[in-house]
Amino acid sequence: MNVRVLLFGPLAEIAGASVSVNAVADTDSLISTLHKSYPVLAESKYVIAVDRHVITSNTLLSENSVVALLPPFSGG
């Protein structure tokens, strides 16, 4: 299963604005795969959205799911 991940703000500097991840069933396994590939990501704070809904617990992914990693911004 192929999942597209969009990274916002400073997270895009770590892994690029968009990455494709294969063979993950849910958001927990997606995040652990991403943290292995990009260890600095594990030290960042962000929330996860699946298909434009911010989630608060592990969520099953389907073919062509789009996951977004959204960090808080402080600037004003």
Which residue ranges make up the site for another protein (CB under 8 A)?
Answer: 6, 8-10, 14, 17, 40, 43-45, 47, 49, 52-56, 68, 70-76
Interacting residues of 49 by C-beta distance below 8 A, sequence separation 6+ = 55, 67, 68, 70
Label each residue of 31-64 as H, E or C.
HHHHHHHCHHHHHCCCEEEECCEEECCCCECCCC
Return the number of the residue (29 or 46) whose C-beta is nearest another protein: 46
Return the number of the residue (23 or 64) whose C-beta is nearest another protein: 64
Structural contact between residues 19 and 38, judged by C-beta atoms closer than 8 angstroms: no
CB of 23 to another protein, least distance (A): 25
CB of 14 to another protein, least distance (A): 8
Return the number of the residue (22 or 45) whose C-beta is nearest another protein: 45
